[in-house]
Amino acid sequence: MRNIEEINSRIENGDAVVMTAEEVKAFSAEHGVARVAEEVDVVTTGTFGAMCSSGAFINFGHAEPPIKMTKVWLNGVPAYTGLAAVDAYVGATELREGDGMDYGGASVIESLVKGEAVHLRATAYGTDCYPRKDIDTHISLNSVNQAYLFNPRNMYQNYAAATNSSDRTLYTYMGKLLPHNGNVTFCSAGQLSPLLNDPHLRTIGIGTRIFLGGGIGYVAWEGTQYKTTVPERNGAPVGACRALAVIGDLKQMTPEYVKALNFTRYGWSLGLGIGVPIPVLDEEVARAVSITEDQIYAPVLDYSVASRARKPVKEVSYAELRSGAIQLNGKEVRTSSLSSYRKARDISRELKEWIQKGRFLLSSPVEALPAERVQGPLEVRSREEA
């Protein structure tokens, strides 16, 4: 048994044993779960993929004379301004006006992280204390006061793989799906994925310090669409389950781990790198971090079925998905990943290095995340039924 304070003391003294999720699985296979519990202090995880529920709050500072911004555009992308006078939120999936799907909010966020200037245009109705009615200027991360990611749903704990049985190509957030089950796409780091290494969030909660976009961030709340009602195999959920809301300083982040992604005929998303340290508190945690690709399963869903209640075509392991092909309806079907396993591995290694050098200490959650949560649907209801 360990606690986080003891682990942090070992980190500060340079004595902590830190392994990436890949390394600990190999160690566990050779020496057993009990040895992991005895000898390993921290396991570092990582994921890099499309995280649509992302965006950035920005405070631009006050103009002369001051303005209470009611409409804001960043490189032509509308930002939400129902806040204070010079605060705005730009969502990753927002599209530039009059430009189809050629540019989006994720592009703005990536440009800022790359150190580029962004065109700011704002209008207002004018008040006695905020008389100015428009402004046209440029901003960068150097010129704004605060700029931070606040992402309502990141790090989905597992997700479905996608295929298409119809006779036409589908363009989705799971990428291009070829007709007649011509391909299968998936989006998870599998055995490296943070929430699959702590499936019941025993060590992760509100206030957990994480690697976010190349900088340091924190778990802020449960993610939207968080649920705990998904069946499990080998201790891991089979399908989309828990998720986290996260926050972090955009000024700390790096272009390597913050990328704008454009899905053909679907729209924009933010490619984001996240790493979470898992403190090995006991043998239960050691068992969880020992799970491997062949033990983690995802459902294959047919996206030609226009329903929120698609039934799985079959369940497959991540070892099968990552092999390049699976058997589906009696034929071999190509598979491809929308997340980067290589970048997930890089993140787990970089976070390991931060911890070993004493640059990153673990934080105890200030509040646990829900042990039980049901995800409700949106129905067409009358006022009385709502």
Q: How far apart are CA 235 and CA 53, in angstroms?
A: 27
CB 20 within 8 A of CB 28: no
At residue 1, the pLDDT reads 86
> What does each C-alpha distance from 72 to 76, 127, 142 come to in angstroms?
9, 17, 19
Q: pLDDT band for position 4 (50/70/90)?
A: very high
Which residues, 6 or more positions from 89, have their beta carbon under 8 angstroms from its beta carbon? 55, 56, 57, 58, 79, 80, 83, 150
Angle between helices 21-31 and 341-356 (to 10 degrees): 80
Q: What is the pLDDT of residues 258-272, one digit of tens each?
A: 999 999 999 999 999
Q: What is the pLDDT of residues 280-296, one digit of tens each?
A: 999 999 999 999 999 99
Q: What is the pLDDT of residues 25-54, one digit of tens each?
A: 999 999 999 999 999 999 999 999 999 999
CB 36 within 8 A of CB 131: no
The rounded Cα 281 to chain-centroid distance in angstroms is: 25
CB 27 within 8 A of CB 35: yes
| pLDDT over threshold 90, residue 330 | yes
At residue 99, the pLDDT reads 87
What are 133's two structure tokens?
Answer: 């009615």
CB 302 within 8 A of CB 165: yes
Q: How far apart are CA 200 and CA 90, in angstroms?
A: 32
| pLDDT over threshold 90, residue 214 | yes
pTM of the model: 0.97
Nearest Cα to Cα of residue 69 among 55, 52, 89: 89
CB count within 10 Å of CB 137 equals 13
Q: How far apart are CA 94 and CA 177, in angstroms?
A: 23
As annotated, the active-site residues are 129
Nearest Cα to Cα of residue 88 among 111, 108, 113: 108
Q: pLDDT band for position 156 (50/70/90)?
A: very high
Residue 169 DSSP code: -
Q: pLDDT band for position 114 (50/70/90)?
A: very high
Percent of the chain with pLDDT over 70: 100
Percent of the chain with pLDDT over 90: 99
- Do β-strands 161-163 and 297-302 pair in parallel, antiparallel, or remain unpaired? parallel
Name the percent of the chain in helix, strand, coil, to the closest 5.
20, 35, 45
Give the start-to-end residue ranges of the domains of the chain.
4-51+151-368, 61-144
Supply the mean pLDDT for the chain: 98
